[in-house]
Amino acid sequence: MDQPVPREDLVKIVQAGIQAPSGCNSQSTSFVIVDDPDIIVQIRELVRMPAPAVITCIIDPTPVYKGTNFALEDCSAAVENMLLVITALGYASVWLDGAIRGVVGEKIGQLLNVPEGKKVQILLPIGVPEEQGTQRERKPFDERAWFNSYRR
């Protein structure tokens, strides 16, 4: 997974995140793309991440509509778009959120010069998979979706 990810692929991936919808078109998610090996090493000291590149998703929690912000929703939509492109390009990734909550996310934010008031929310490490993984089977439609009423 240490094979470099070309910048043109990283741009394609992040462009998909930029194109994601956002609440009130606030476009509250921004990104720091890290491919500098020295910075990757510093991030790896904070969180287990065996990848040659990482996309850092940064949210702006400023309210945009009646005192509400949609930062988490906006960021999630961007990440989903990016994960689809990552997969389509033949790379592997994982949505890292819980591992960077609190002090770890703050330290990553400081390392990447994230402005005060904004927050590192999600990391997407990206690399060429060492081996092909197997997808866990999904539950059937009728166990997860219904028409007109929730059923169990």
Mean pLDDT of the region 50-70: 91
pLDDT at 26: 82
- From 67, 66, 74, select the one nearest 26 (Cα to Cα): 74
- Whether 27 is covered by a domain: the verdict is yes
pLDDT at 27: 86
pLDDT at 67: 87
Q: For residue 150, how far is the Cα from the chain centroid?
A: 30
pLDDT at 23: 84
- Whether 1 is covered by a domain: the verdict is no
- Whether 2 is covered by a domain: the verdict is no
- Going 96 to 109 to 81 to 124, the CA torsion angle's sign is negative
**DSSP designation for 67:** T
pLDDT digits (tens, 9 = 90+) for 80-114: 999 999 999 999 999 999 889 999 999 999 999 99
pLDDT digits (tens, 9 = 90+) for 113-142: 999 999 999 999 999 988 777 778 999 999
Instruction: Please give the tally of structural domains in the chain.
Output: 1
The alpha carbon torsion through 62, 63, 68, 73 (nearest 10 deg) reads -50
- Whether 149 is covered by a domain: the verdict is no
Cross-strand partners of 127: 92
pLDDT at 1: 54
- Whether 89 is covered by a domain: the verdict is yes
What CATH number is associated with residue 138?
A: 3.40.109.10
- Whether 151 is covered by a domain: the verdict is no
- From 67, 93, 82, select the one nearest 18 (Cα to Cα): 82
Alpha carbons 21 and 41: distance in angstroms, whole number: 33
**What are the φ/ψ torsions at residue 127 (nearest 5 degrees)?**
-165, 175
Higher pLDDT residue, 37 or 1? Answer: 37
Which domain does 38 fall in, by range?
Answer: 7-144
- Whether 18 is covered by a domain: the verdict is yes
Mean pLDDT of the region 64-86: 93
The C-alpha angle with vertex 13 and arms to 141 and 82, in degrees rounded to 5, equals: 25
Residue type, 94: V
- Whether 70 is covered by a domain: the verdict is yes
